[in-house]
Amino acid sequence: MITAGTKETVARLLGPRGYLDRPEDLTLYEYDGGVDKARPDLVVFPRSTADVVALVNLAREQQIPIVGRGAGTGLSGGAIPVAGGMIVSFARMSRILEIDLINERAVVQPGVVNLDITLAVQRQRYFYAPDPSSQRACTIGGNVAENAGGPHTLAYGVTTNHVLGLEVVLPDGSVFETGGKEADTAGYDLTGLMTGSEGTMGLVTKITVRLMRQPEMVKTLLAIYNSAEDCGHTVAEITARAITPVAIEMLDGVMLRMVEEATHAGYPLDAAAVLLIELEGLEEAVAEQVEQVREACRICRAREFRVARSAEERELLWKGRKNAFGAVGRVSPSYYVQDGVVPRTRIAETLRYIGEVAKKYGLTISNIFHAGDGNLHPIILFDARDPDSLKRAQSAGDDILRYCISVGGSITGEHGVGMEKKELMAGLFSEATLNMIRGFKSLFDPECRLNPGKVLPTGRGCMEIRQGPLTAATML
């Protein structure tokens, strides 16, 4: 419980409109894009690093848990305050501080919307590469916390490949900077350590990102299949030809029908699956790759192969992909999005297994995913009014993720572990590795007040950390 005195201190620091504490307001911060919920006691809106330091110091004095939050588009419960306490919303720290096109860098605050970076530099033919499906809403701070990806990660990589420096506030109120505009810096890669740490070790207050030049030529292709397995085999066939598209997205029949009915993007309603493929680079190289991809799709029994004829047609195809989650909402107001990774060669059999899981639990599961890097996103439809339906959806998700582990994959490619998948961490990592992760958490946040209840499985989380000091022996 946060006292009236603490709220008065926050009001003096941020002003009367700098925080929320009414129940009806707090309700808006008890959930993210996942299915879990927990209500905070207070939501605060800092405008500067100094504000964040003051809030962190206040929380330390009062022993209040702290959870950083961006736009709340996360899908693993990463911004859910499971222990109550204070949510630090970065919505008002939303300035682009510097654009340095000569060095292809930008410095931004954590509340900057992902797409706004590209919009700020696109007239100069630059862009920011990581492009989550929620890029019109999600913020860079949240992307850093979860190490977000997107359709174009196959060629460009995820957020960590484009973050060069950070300013971080630790739970004791101290501030440190890591990395910078340089291509590489001396010492330990603390930027890499903090990126993807899900807000459990520090609050990021400034970010230096890499900008990239727009390519000379872009071609968007659509391959249409009567078999989802043939569609899955095509991914391996393309990569076997030493071609790396910037994106290979797969939509199964259930998903593409929902998307087409909502967006009218030009997807066939009778197909079993489609591949949305994008190539870019020098004009001559792209033209040659289009023909090689066409041949790969033909060998894998694609029934039709299209090349977008204009920028408008290309944008419409991507509109269908980017708005897929919204399209699902027209069919089922409640759905559970999973995020697992398998080797590209195991995509087809994994899709078969997902179909078996759907039958096992009596649920509809549609698939839309980054096929090029094996990052699957099964979307499990359920009825939120029926507790048993939600329970079956979560059990189905767990089964799928355990299968991903069994074939040499992972429980997350871009959504993070959060509170949703923490119990599955024991199936992915050894005891020694989990202890090492716990050791880093204890080093940065010894009192476990920063986003508690995330990442580590029960028994290796905050209660265990509080039981005694960390030693070299407990880390190994």
CB 427 within 8 A of CB 417: no
pLDDT: which is higher, 120 or 470: 120
Can you tell me the mean pLDDT for 337-353?
Answer: 93
**Residue-range domains of the chain with CATH:** 4-89 (3.30.43.10), 96-213 (3.30.465.10), 217-325 (3.30.70.2190), 332-406 (3.30.70.2740), 429-475 (no CATH)
Angle of helix 387-406 versus helix 347-361 axis, rounded to 10:
150
Reported confidence tier of residue 389, pLDDT bands at 50, 70, 90: very high
Does the pLDDT of residue 49 top 80, yes or no?
A: yes
Reported confidence tier of residue 461, pLDDT bands at 50, 70, 90: low
Cβ neighbours for 78, distance < 8 A, ≥ 6 positions apart: 32, 142, 145, 146, 198, 199, 416, 418, 419, 451, 454
Give me the amino acid identity at 143: N
CB 427 within 8 A of CB 405: yes
| Helix, strand or coil, per DSSP, at residue 126 | strand
- Dump pLDDT digits (tens) for 253-296: 999 999 999 999 999 999 999 999 999 999 999 999 999 999 99
Can you tell me the mean pLDDT for 200-214?
Answer: 98
Instruction: Please state, in angstroms and rounded to a whole number, the distance separating the CA atoms of residues 222 and 249.
Output: 10
Q: What's the burial of 454, exposed, middle or buried (CB within 10 Å: 0-12/13-18/19+)?
A: buried
Can you tell me the mean pLDDT for 103-110?
Answer: 98
Q: What are phi and psi of 326, to 5 degrees?
A: -65, -35
Instruction: Please state, in angstroms and rounded to a whole number, the distance separating the CA atoms of residues 147 and 143.
Output: 5
| Helix, strand or coil, per DSSP, at residue 43 | strand
Least confident of 66-80, 317-331, 365-379, 383-397: 317-331
CB 417 within 8 A of CB 454: yes
Q: What's the burial of 471, exposed, middle or buried (CB within 10 Å: 0-12/13-18/19+)?
A: exposed
Can you tell me the mean pLDDT for 140-154?
Answer: 96
Angle of helix 324-331 versus helix 311-322 axis, rounded to 10:
50
What Å distances lie between residue 5 and 2, 39, 54, 56, 414, CA to CA?
8, 20, 15, 16, 40
> What does pTM read for this prediction?
0.93
DSSP string, 199-230: TSS-EEEEEEEE-EEPPSEEEEEEEEES-HHH
CB 380 within 8 A of CB 398: no
CB 372 within 8 A of CB 248: yes
H or E segment to which residue 49 belongs: helix 49-62
Q: Which residues of 364-389 are buried (b: 16+ CB within 10 A; e: fewer)?
A: ebbbbbbbbbbbbbbbbbbeeeeeeb
Question: Sign of the C-alpha dihedral, residues 22, 28, 30, 36?
Answer: positive
- Mean pLDDT value across the chain: 94
Give me the amino acid identity at 106: A
Give the pLDDT confidence score for residue 469 in this predicted structure: 39
Q: Return the biggest CA–CA distance within the chain.
A: 70
Can you tell me the mean pLDDT for 363-375?
Answer: 94
> Tokens 């767990």 sit at which residue?
398
Give the pLDDT confidence score for residue 465 in this predicted structure: 41
Can you tell me the mean pLDDT for 61-84?
Answer: 97
Can you tell me the mean pLDDT for 366-370?
Answer: 93
| Half-sphere exposure in the Cβ direction for 277 (13 Å, CA) | 29
| Half-sphere exposure in the Cβ direction for 152 (13 Å, CA) | 20
Q: What's the burial of 108, exposed, middle or buried (CB within 10 Å: 0-12/13-18/19+)?
A: buried
CB 113 within 8 A of CB 120: no
